[in-house]
Homo-oligomer: A and B are copies of this chain.
């Protein structure tokens, strides 16, 4: 009884399918789950600060000529493997590693529909810095458990999910621009970032997101071992089919992550960073219109993709 996949195929779906706000919203909401899961997975390990110090492992310098941190080396290795499978060709994937350090794709390129203009935006350096300096210290204990490999695997996954979430904002920008391009012309020409932000932001949606995210962090972050474990062990007659214990509704909940922390990660970082990317993308949008596209928009005839 497998649920049906609700993932759209970036290569075979049409641009208008991908850029529908409904599609975008479903991707962003599903990514919340992934981000919460990955944060919980990282939080089981200690902070392990040396992982983030450049040059902390002399062997990486000697044998790999790698002067950055352990985690950045891990990113490079992982992203290199994924480069061979053309991950970074996809319009929703951005590497943390400098492209010249990544190998070429082995598989032939996939032909994606024309979605975004050729923007060159990649805010992963800022994502990495904030993750290292704020997120990891917030969600982990200030300790060292030696689990550098396991922690780095989680770091790579969490960073990739945050990066995909934040860069996905460009689909929102493109979608909103296409549906009412005329509204964007003046603020783009005036480089009015505030106005542009207002055009793509819905405070009610943002509030709903934070409510939903808190609930996800609370529900997925429950530590069910203590509550169910002990109860089930006592009741030795319990069969696998009857889950008598429902710690979700009891008061003395134990949590693997603090829901407030997760909400703050979005409120203080993911949401503002996404807006920055969205506006960065919009601010140059007119440069990538042909004269006839621009004329049509100015005449109130809307946006038309060029053949």
Residues of A within 8 A of B (CB): 1-12, 26, 29-30, 33-34, 37, 40-41, 43-46, 57, 59-60, 63-64, 74, 77-78, 80-82, 84-87, 90, 106-108, 110, 137-143, 145-149, 152-153, 157, 204-205, 207-208, 210-212, 214-216, 218-220, 222, 224-225, 228-229, 232-233, 236, 238-249, 255-258, 260-261, 263, 267
Chain B residues with Cβ below 8 Å from A236 are 204, 207-208
Contact among B64, B211, B261 for A228, CB-based, below 8 A: B211
Give the interface centre of A2, A4, A157, A239 by most chain B CB atoms within 10 Å. Answer: A2
Contacting pair A5 B45 (CB below 8 A): yes
Contacting pair B208 A29 (CB below 8 A): no
Contacting pair A222 B224 (CB below 8 A): no
A-B CB contact pairs (8 Å), 14 listed: A2-B43, A3-B141, A5-B141, A11-B146, A33-B40, A63-B106, A74-B85, A77-B84, A78-B78, A85-B152, A207-B236, A208-B236, A215-B245, A219-B219
Given the known A-B contacts A30-B225, A34-B41, A141-B5, are A218 and B233 also in contact in the complex, defined by CB atoms under 8 Å?
no
Chain B residues with Cβ below 8 Å from A110 are 146
The chain B residue sitting closest to A104, CB to CB, is B63
Chain B residues with Cβ below 8 Å from A45 are 5, 7
A220 to B248, CA, bound (A): 11
Contacting pair B248 A229 (CB below 8 A): no
- State the number of copies, please: 2
Given the known A-B contacts A107-B59, A238-B207, A240-B210, are A139 and B84 also in contact in the complex, defined by CB atoms under 8 Å?
no
Contacting pair B4 A141 (CB below 8 A): yes
The chain B residue sitting closest to A245, CB to CB, is B215
Contacting pair A143 B218 (CB below 8 A): no
Contact among B80, B81, B224 for A219, CB-based, below 8 A: B224
Top 9 A-B residue pairs of the complex, sorted by shortest distance between their CB atoms: A210-B240, A77-B81, A208-B232, A5-B46, A211-B232, A9-B146, A212-B228, A204-B236, A29-B225
How far does the Cβ of A225 sit from chain B's closest Cβ, in whole Å? Answer: 4
Chain B residues with Cβ below 8 Å from A222 are 219
Give the interface centre of A6, A9, A26, A215 by most chain B CB atoms within 10 Å. Answer: A215
A44 to B245, CA, bound (A): 28
Contacting pair B149 A211 (CB below 8 A): no
Contacting pair B5 A143 (CB below 8 A): yes
How far does the Cβ of A31 sit from chain B's closest Cβ, in whole Å? Answer: 10
Contact among B2, B9, B148 for A147, CB-based, below 8 A: B9
Contacting pair A219 B248 (CB below 8 A): yes
Contact among B74, B85, B208 for A233, CB-based, below 8 A: B208
The chain B residue sitting closest to A93, CB to CB, is B149
